[in-house]
Amino acid sequence: MHAFDFLTQDRICQPGTGITMMLDKGLGTRGVKDLLEMSGEYVDFAKFGWGTSALHQKDIITEKIELYKTYGVKPYPGGTLLEVAYLQDKLDQFLQESLELGFEAIEISDGTINIPSEDRSQIIGEVKDLGFKAITEVGKKDPFKDRELELHTKVEIVNADLDSGADWVLMEAREGGKGIGIYDEKGNVKENEVQTFLDQTQPEKIIWEAPQKNQQVYFILKMGSNVNLGNITPEEVTSLESMRKGLRGDTLGKVKF
């Protein structure tokens, strides 16, 4: 039982919603244990950021993966590692090793490179056939290239990914959440763009990368406590959950359950 249980309200959400995706940039096993002991119940996915999985010993990666899974958290490697595998024509090896290591999801992105739409769709199918959850990402990591992708094109990519079998689609914002995607140079939300995605896609299938507190507050107040949010730092997991449950001044008395 939680402390002050009588003051809180449980989040009841439909399967696949209310997701918190945490960004693991290289936590050690002791750090993961401490995090999960305190906040594991509030994390749904742990993303091993970028290509960091390739920089550590297999036994350490495997131990971390098993720790996450013990707490019901689905771990997966960052999309950049898939892009490296795609460029080197080693996608099959990448997927096989991901399977052997115990990852439960795969991110399909082309934030740095370009993957033709037909290849993207095929990769989603291969990922699903192997039993992984498929999480695609829409947007470019270079702000200039990202701005070249018109809004209607991003909407088309989101819908095409979902039609191809993706379980969720991440909206690119990087770890900083400024000057890219749905955020301006100060990290403020471009509300008209968000509304377009809400009107023209399946918003319950979108995970909004929202590394900054003001962004998290915006989505919670706009879409309710069970909005899907990603790129949450380990130290902000509990803070985010407190906002989801109206236990912080930003959302107290305002949040929809």
Tokens 């997991």 map to which residue?
237
Total count of residues recorded for the chain: 257
**Nearest CA-CA partner of 104 in 23, 48, 37:** 48
Rounded to an integer, the average pLDDT of 222-239 is: 97
Q: What rounded mean pLDDT belongs to the chain?
A: 96
Residue 26 C-alpha from the chain's centroid: 16
Query: Which 3-state string (H, E, C) describes 40-54?
Result: HHHCCEEEECCCHHH
pLDDT over threshold 90, residue 46: yes
pLDDT band at 48 (very low <50, low <70, confident <90, very high): very high
Q: What is the per-residue pLDDT for 14? A: 87
Tokens of 105: 């999801």
Q: Give pLDDT tens digits for 56-91.
A: 999 999 999 999 999 999 999 999 999 999 999 999
Q: Would you say residue 175 has pLDDT above 90?
A: no
| Mean pLDDT in residue range 171-183 | 94
Read off the pLDDT of each residue in 13-36 and give the average, rounded to a whole number.
Answer: 96
Residue 1 has pLDDT above 90, yes or no: no
Residue 44 pLDDT level (bands cut at 50, 70, 90): very high
Q: Would you say residue 103 has pLDDT above 90?
A: yes
Percent of the chain with pLDDT over 90: 95
State both tokens at 231.
């790129």
CA distance 108 to 85: 11
Is residue 112's pLDDT more than 90?
yes
Q: Of 154, 164, 170, whose CA–CA distance to 211 is shortest?
A: 170
Query: What is the model's pLDDT at position 257?
Result: 79
CATH number of 5-244: 3.20.20.70
Q: What contacts 110, CB < 8 A, 6 or more positions away?
A: 83, 120
Angle separating helix axes 117-129 and 79-87, nearest 10 degrees: 110
Q: Confidence class of residue 172 from pLDDT cuts 50, 70 and 90?
A: very high
C-alpha–C-alpha distance, residues 141 and 16, integer Å: 26
- pLDDT of 231 reads 97
With CA atoms as reference, report the closest residue to 111 among 164, 54, 20, 50.
50
Asked if 183 and 215 count as a contact pair (C-beta separation under 8 A), the reply is yes
What's the gap between Cα 257 and its chain centre? 21
pLDDT over 90 (residue 6): yes
The tokens describing 84, both together, are 């490296």
Hey, is 104 helix, strand or coil? coil
Q: pLDDT at position 13, please?
A: 86
pLDDT at 238: 98
* Model pTM score: 0.96
Taken in order 147, 173, 91, 106, the sign of the CA dihedral is: negative
Question: Is residue 138's pLDDT more than 90?
Answer: yes
Domain spans of the chain, in order of start: 5-244
